Amino acid sequence: MVMPIGLLMMEHRLIERMIALMEKEVERIKKEKRASFEFIEKAIDFIRTYADRLHHGKEENILFRDLKSKRLEEQHRKTMEELIGEHRWGRKKVTELVDASRKYKEGDGNAIHTILECLQELVHFYPQHIKKEDKHFFIPVMNYFNQAEQESMLEEEREFDRNFIHEIYKEKVDEVKKSID
């Protein structure tokens, strides 16, 4: 049987692949002293949509929600709160990247420094965050759940995935509608 954390850990592998590409982009920016709008937009979309809304969405709205109803050991409660705080930090950093990217696109050459800083911080952050979840949190907290609870969470994660694509494209259609009206 796949545990609910199995899907989350598989998602970590894709996030790690994107972070490796972001690290290469950081090196390219340092070397060439210019940012690629196309890459930055794709990185922002990936982190916002996949890493945060999909992946962190499942952690916060399913796993953490269910853990809050359990009598957690202090170390697990503390780690969960740290992880939630780290998710907030990541959202803030991506918002800074969005703002810097917009400024850079509008011709503010100094914004490249903020772009570089944000990318470097995200590249440093995600491997540590993933390691904390994979090695020190996900596996031990599964002991708080019986098999039926784990199966229920797994089904809820799968349902979350199924509905997510519809939510994303509904938003895209709404954006197009706003631009036309």
pLDDT score at 160 = 93
Can you give the residue range of the structural domain that contains 92? 4-180
Residue 165: predicted pLDDT: 85
Q: What is the pLDDT of residues 59-76, one digit of tens each?
A: 999 999 999 999 999 999
pTM: 0.91
pLDDT the model gives residue 79: 98
* pLDDT at 167 (0 to 100): 87
d(CA 127, CA 121): 11
Give the count of beta carbons closer than 10 Å to the beta carbon of residue 130.
Answer: 20
Confidence of residue 23 (pLDDT cuts 50, 70, 90): very high
Q: Give the helix ranges, DSSP H, for 33-110.
A: 37-45, 57-58, 65-67, 74-105
Q: Please tell me the predicted confidence (pLDDT) of residue 170.
A: 87
Q: What is the CATH number of the domain that holds 49?
A: 1.20.120.520
Number of domains observed in the structure of the chain: 1
Concatenated DSSP letters of 117-181: HHHHHHHHHHHHHHHHHHHHTHHHHGGGS-HHHHHHHHHHHHHHHHHHHHHHHHHHHHHHHHHH-
Q: pLDDT (tens digit, 9 = 90+) per residue, 92-143? A: 999 999 999 999 999 999 999 999 999 999 999 999 999 999 999 999 999 9
36 contacts 133 by C-beta, under 8 angstroms = no
Q: Give the contacts of 100 (CB within 8 A, at least 6 positions apart).
A: 111, 112, 114, 115, 118
How many C-beta atoms surround the C-beta of residue 167 within 10 A?
13
